[in-house]
Amino acid sequence: MVKIRLQRGGAKKRPFYHIVVTDMRNGRDGRYIERLGFFNPVAIGGEVPLRLDIERIEYWKGHGAQLSERVTNLVKSFNRHGEGQAPARAAPPVSKAKEAPNQTVPAGATGDQSAEAAPQADENQAGAAE
């Protein structure tokens, strides 16, 4: 049986999928018959998140190809919205851990004995000895 499904590419934690026509017995990233488009789920800015060749998809469906569940949803989305551009995303938040070494911590704010607390203790001990 012929299936239209996703073939994963891209880097670790940065997926990129090709929509391909393949024999269902082939592996996910294995041999394919024809490439029909792509899906980029992490597209930002001016990148195109989805591109499909609808005419070829209809051709393969007419010849008995089955669409995977995810591809079916992508085709519906493409028919509603078209190719378009990815929505602009805000820059990821900056980690507070990276900022910490550049900040100065006021004396006594960490809870341990600071340089300011030590002279006061010495004065108290000196006053008690007199």
Give which of 5, 129, 127 is closest to 66, Cα–Cα: 5
In the CATH scheme, what architecture does the domain 2-81 have? Answer: 2-Layer Sandwich (3.30)
pLDDT (tens digit, 9 = 90+) per residue, 20-33? Answer: 999 989 888 888 99
Cα distance between residue 128 and residue 116, in whole Å? 20
For residue range 85-130, what is the model confidence (pLDDT) as tens digits?
666 666 666 766 666 566 666 666 666 555 555 556 556 665 565 5
For the chain, which residues make up each domain, given as ranges?
A: 2-81
Report the mean per-residue pLDDT for the chain.
Answer: 80
pLDDT for the residue 84 = 72
